[in-house]
Amino acid sequence: MSQLQPIKGTHDLMFEDVRRHRFVEETAFEIARRYGYGEIATPVFEFTEVFKRTLGDTSDIVTKEMFTFETKGGDNITLRPEGTAGVARAFISEGLAQQTPLKFFYRGPMFRYERPQKGRQRQFHQFGAELLGVATPQADVEIIALADHILKALRLTGAVSLELNSLGDVESRTAYRDVLVNYFKGHEDKLSADSRERLGRNPLRILDSKDPGDKEVNVNAPQFTEHLNTASRDFFMGVQDGLADLNIAFKVVPALVRGLDYYGHTAFEFTTDALGAQGTVLAGGRYDGLIKQMGGPQTPGIGFAAGIERLAMLLPEIAADKRPIAVIPIGDGEAKIAQEITAKLRHAGFTVDIGYSGNMGKRMARANKIKAVVAVILGSDEVREGVATVRNLDTGDQAKVPQADLARHLAGFK
Ligand code: ATP
Ligand code: MG
């Protein structure tokens, strides 16, 4: 394979793709700011241990998907597969425990060694939010409301739906795990090899399996919602009531799980039918045990992460970039004055492209290609008279305008 190809599962983002990408990111951040979330940018790599401790030794990410390597200095590091681990690490290493509640928003590339397909890449992008230090259902409601608001601002209402579940507190989870293991033991012969292994280590994750045999067994599996203790049930009702108060529609889906010990209570996903198998666009949950597990002080947390590529694919048509003004010197003699005028207009706030070379026809063709809205044409006559010919490229109307008046004349195109 040629070394000059992009690496499998990675993409160059440009033109329309990058505009969609930015639109998703900027809309998300704009809304997150309204909810009081400030941006955090953690490094794209961390010690491998950071992810192992956050994600657990049995997660798909840790067992199969990490880009891990040893540095020249002998450190074992990993390109971040997700954002929560870095935020939790920063919370501990920056000593932020006294500053809770803390609200962080992040965005950027993530790396997972998976089989590339539609909506699944090896370098992809996420934005996400984390709310640290609030243990009550209001935090869950706020974080889900934020996710919902962002998706609405992206005009994806109707295209996505919210699925919700509760994983209860530690006591509920321990009790449920026993019930579940019991049930699966009775059907062990029908489970996939993967799931038979999960049975000992992480039975909850079987519920999430995509294997057809596992799925059949899962249909009749005991449901978490029926094994929640009173405190967990109250918590879950608090979240549901809060969402109902905000008119956020949701469906309780008992099979929705995060199979890690430090995830509890709320788990949620926004999904779509429009992307085939890769239907989850945003996923989140409560992780009250995580920061302690990583070696920090007991700190509750809840957050979500969204796949920017998947959202970008779902977006309806987005507004095109602002159309530029094209400054066109007719010949090399007018190049200098054209440069000066271009610089002045740019400093005055206009978006301006300048024709560098070629005959007039070539320069006009470029102006059309970049969808310029007007052309500011400078020939030897114009230079002599101290004017420019301003042509509206949509209507063909044109007028001579004194060079000193250009900014005022073009004000409508800023
Ligand atoms: P999936 O079940 O699709 O593998 P996941 O549970 O691994 O998703 P999370 O770790 O919850 O995903 O990440 C949150 C979101 O990031 C996903 O819902 C998805 O939109 C996006 N995402 C995850 N992995 C990829 C990938 N390899 N390529 C593109 N987007 C991804
Ligand atoms: Mg995955």
Is there a single domain that holds both residue 332 and residue 266?
no
The pLDDT value recorded for residue 85 is 95
- List all residues whose CB is within 6 A of at least one atom of ligand 1: 82, 112, 114, 119-121, 124, 126, 278, 280-283, 305-307, 309-310
Which residue in 209, 306, 301, 311 sits closest to 256, CA to CA?
A: 209
Domain of residue 158: give its range.
15-169+229-314
The pLDDT score that the predictor gives to residue 109 is 98
| Within-domain flag for 224 | no
Looking at the structure, tell me whether residues 409 and 272 fall in a common domain. no
| Rg, the chain, Cα only | 28
Closest atom of ligand 1 to 61 CA is 7
**Residue 358 and residue 388 share a domain:** yes
Say whether both 382 and 293 belong to one domain: no
Say what the pTM is.
0.93
Q: Kindly report the CATH number assigned to the domain that includes residue 393.
A: 3.40.50.800
Q: Distance of CA 6 to CAs 16, 121, 330, 342, 360, Å? A: 19, 12, 40, 36, 38
Q: Say if residue 341 is in the same domain as residue 304.
A: no
Phi, psi torsion values for 32, nearest 5 degrees: -60, -35
138 and 37 together in one domain: yes
Among candidate residues 256, 284, 314, the one where a domain is terminated: 314
pLDDT on residue 123: 98
**10-residue block means of pLDDT along the chain (414 residues)?**
87 94 97 98 97 83 92 98 96 97 98 94 98 98 98 94 95 92 94 90 86 93 92 98 98 83 90 90 96 95 97 90 94 93 97 88 91 96 96 96 97 90
290 contacts: CB under 8 Å, gap ≥ 6: 54, 84, 88, 262, 263, 301
Number of domains in the chain: 2
Pocket probe for ligand 1: among 269, 310, 314, the residue whose CB has the most ligand atoms within 8 Å is 310
The candidate with the shortest Cα–Cα distance to 282, out of 308, 256, 255, is 308
In-domain check, residue 209: no
Pocket perturbation via mutation, ligand 1, pick of 25, 125, 126 by most ligand atoms within 8 A of CB: 126
User: What span, in angstroms and rounded, lies between the C-alpha atoms of 87 and 302?
Assistant: 12
Q: How far apart are the first and last CA of the chain?
A: 47
267 and 331 belong to one structural domain: no
Give the integer Cα–Cα distance in Å for 25 and 4: 29
* pLDDT at residue 1, rounded to an integer: 60
Question: Would 194 be classed as within a structural domain?
Answer: no
